[in-house]
Amino acid sequence: MREVRISLVGFGIVGHGVLEVVRRKWGLLRKMGLDMKVVSVTDINGTLFDETGIDPQRLHAARTLEGIANLDIIGKEAIQKVDSDLVVEVTPTNIVHGQPGLGHIEEALSSGKHVVTSNKGPLVVAYNHLQEMAQDNGVMLKYEATVGGTMPLISLVEKNLVGNEILGIRGIFNGTCNYILTRMMEEKYTYSYALTEAQDLGIAEADPAYDVDGIDTAGKVVILANSIFGMTAKYEDVSVTGIREITPEALNLAWERGYHIKLIGEVPALTVKPMLVPRRSPLAVGGTLNVASIETDLSGTITVTGLGAGSIETASAIVSDIVSIYTSRQIDG
Amino acid sequence: MRLSMDLELQDIPGQLMQSLEPFKKYKGNIISVVHHRDRKTPRGTVPVQIVFEIDPSNIENIKKHLEDNGIVVVRAGEDRFIEETSVLLIGHVLHSDLGDTINRIDSTGFAEVEDLSLRMPGIEEPSSAYLRIRATGKEEIGKSLSILRHVGAEKDLLVIEPIEAEKI
Ligand SMILES: NC(=O)c1ccc[n+]([C@@H]2O[C@H](COP(=O)([O-])OP(=O)(O)OC[C@H]3O[C@@H](n4cnc5c(N)ncnc54)[C@H](OP(=O)(O)O)[C@@H]3O)[C@@H](O)[C@H]2O)c1
C-alpha cells in the first residue's frame, strides 16, 4: 500500500469537493494500492493539521477553517512546514500575476512535492517555468482541472493520443457563456436577462467579466498552447472577444440558417471569439457543457464533452490526476 | 472565358484522367479540379468540379465528349463561385452603410454576397445581418472573410464567422 500524504491549499468550492471525493472513493483508491490521506487543509485563516489524516466528516459542515485551524500558518509557510508528498492547489485564479497560487506551487515543487491544481492563474503566467521546476525536482505538476473541468482533455492528448501530431484544438471552454447563449437562444432572452438568471442560479459570478469577456477562455487557450503545442504563449498573445454584444435576434437569425453562436477558443490560432457553429456539429452542445474537438494527423478529429465546473466534478479531475501520478510512477518501476 | 462544370464520375480507376481529356482536346486551360471522393452520391458516383478557361463555343463539344464516355455532366456554365460561407454581423449594420459593406465583397471580382437577411429590433438597438458569400475558391473565401474583419473593425461591427470556414 502506497501512502499519499496530501496538503490541500484552498478550502472553497473545489477544496470541499476534493475532501468529499477522497472520502467517497477511499475504498476504491485502496484497491488501487493508494492510501490517500489529507494531512492538512489551509485557507486564509490558518491550517488544520493531522498527520494521521483529517476526518472529512469533521470539516463537512465548515465553510472555512475559522475556529477550526490548529496551526497559525498559511500559504507558502504551510506548504513548507507540513510534511506531505503532494499539494493540491485550489486557491482563487488570478490570470495577471498568478498569485497566490504561483508562490504556492513554486514552494511545493522546490521542496520536492508533486502538485495537482485547478488554478489557471499560475499556469497561464508561468507554465514553462513551473514544468521546468517540476522536472528539476523530480516531481510532477498536473492540471487537468484547469481546462474544461471534468472533461478529459490534457490526459486524452498525453496518454491516449500519444504518437499523434495534434494539429489544432477548438472548443467551448466556459460553461457560463455557454449557458447564457443557450438561454438567449432558447428563450429569446436578452443578454442581461440571461446573465441575471445565470447569477441567480450560481452559474455566473456577481462580477461576470471574467467569464463573459472571454478572459477565462483565453487563459485556457494559453494553457493548451503551452502544454500541448509547446508554445510560449502569454495571455496578451490571445485575440479575445466576449459575448456581451450578442443579441437574441442574432442568435435567432443564425438558428434559421442552421447555426448556433458559441464562444469558441482555438489553439494554436490563439483566438477567443463568438463563432457560428453548425447545428449538427459535435461542438453544438448546450447548457453549461464544455466541449473540445482535437484535430490529429492519425486519428482524425476527436470530440470530448463534459461539465466544465462544479465542486465534485472538478475534484474528480483532481483526484484522477493524483492517481495518475502514482500509477505512472509504478510503471516506471 | 472562365467556366465551371460539375461532373459525376464512376468510382473506377482512370475515370478522372478520362474526364480531363476533352479539355485538352478543345484547348481548355484547367484552373482547378476538385475531386470529392469523400462525398459520394447515393448512386455511388464521385462528384468532381472543374474550373477552366476556354472559348465558350467549345463547351458543347466538351459536354458531348464527356457524355459519350459515360460521364454525367450535372451542370456546366459561367457560375464560377464554387465555395460558400456564412457570416453574421452585429451592430449598426444598416447605418454603417450596408451597401458599402456588401460592395467591398462584390467589387473583388472573386466573391459576392448572394443572400442577405436583416433583423432590426429597434432604432437604437444593434441590428444583425446574415450574409451568404460565394467565391471562386477556398482561398477567396478566406480573403472575403478577412475583408469583412477589416470592415467590422472600421465600422464597429461584430463579425461572427463560421467554424468550418477556418482551418483549426
Ligand atoms: N468552482 C469550479 O467549478 C472550478 C472549476 C475549475 C477550476 N476552478 C478553479 O479552482 C480554484 C478554486 O476554485 P473555487 O471555486 O474552489 O474557489 P473559492 O470557492 O473561491 O475557494 C478558494 C479558496 O482559497 C482560499 N484562499 C484564498 N487565498 C488563499 C491563500 N493565500 N492561502 C490559502 N488559501 C487561500 C479561500 O479562502 P477564503 O474563502 O477564506 O478567502 C477559499 O477557501 C480557482 O482557481 C478556480 O478558478 C474552479
Does A149 have pLDDT greater than 90? no
Phi-psi sector, A258: left (phi>0), alpha (psi -120 to 50), beta = left
pTM for the whole thing?
0.86
Q: Is B119 an 8 Å CB contact of chain A?
A: yes
Does the fold of domain B83-165 match that of domain B2-76? yes
A100 lines ligand 1 (CB under 6 A): yes
Cell numbers placing B114: 448572394
Q: Stretch A74-90: mean pLDDT, rounded?
A: 97
Q: Stretch A245-268: mean pLDDT, rounded?
A: 97
The pairing of beta strand A239-240 with beta strand B46-53: unpaired
- Taking the C-alpha atoms of residue B128 and residue B133, their distance in angstroms, rounded to an integer, is 16
Contact A221, A266 (CB under 8 A): yes
Please list every residue in chain A whose beta carbon sits closer than 8 Å to the beta carbon of residue B117.
253, 256-257
Q: Stretch A83-99: mean pLDDT, rounded?
A: 97
Cα-atom radius of gyration of chain B, to the nearest Å? Answer: 20
Q: Is A188 a catalytic residue?
A: no
Distances (CA, A) of A260 to A118, A178, A239, B87: 29, 11, 21, 12
| Sequence-separated (6 or more) residues with CB below 8 Å from residue B64 | none
Distance A12 CA to ligand 1 centre (A): 5
Out of A179-183, A209-213, A259-263, A306-310, pick the least confident: A306-310
CATH code for the part of the protein at B2-76: 3.30.70.260
Task: List, for chain B, all residue ranges whose pLDDT scores fall below the cut of 50.
Answer: 165-168
Distances (CA, A) of A309 to A98, A174, A306, A315: 20, 9, 9, 9
| B30/chain A closest Cα distance in angstroms | 31
Angle, helices A120-136 vs A215-228, to 10°: value is 20
Tell me: the pLDDT tens digits for A30-44?
999 999 999 999 999
Q: Is B121 an 8 Å CB contact of chain A?
A: yes
Query: Which of A7, A8, A43, A123 for mutating ligand 1's site (highest number of atoms within 8 Å of CB)?
Result: A43
Domain positions in chain B = 2-76, 83-165
What ipTM was reported for this prediction?
Answer: 0.88
Please list every residue in chain A whose beta carbon sits closer than 8 Å to the beta carbon of residue B126.
245, 247
Q: Which residues pair with A274 in a beta bridge?
A: A263
- Percent of the residues in chain A that have a pLDDT greater than 70, as a whole number: 98
Topology adopted by domain B83-165:
Alpha-Beta Plaits (3.30.70)
Please list every residue in chain A whose beta carbon sits closer than 8 Å to the beta carbon of residue B132.
257
- Of A253, A278, A295, nearest to B88 by CB-CB distance is A253
Domains of chain A: 2-150+311-327 (3.40.50.720), 158-307 (3.30.360.10)
Output the CA angle B112-B113-B115, nearest 5 degrees: 140
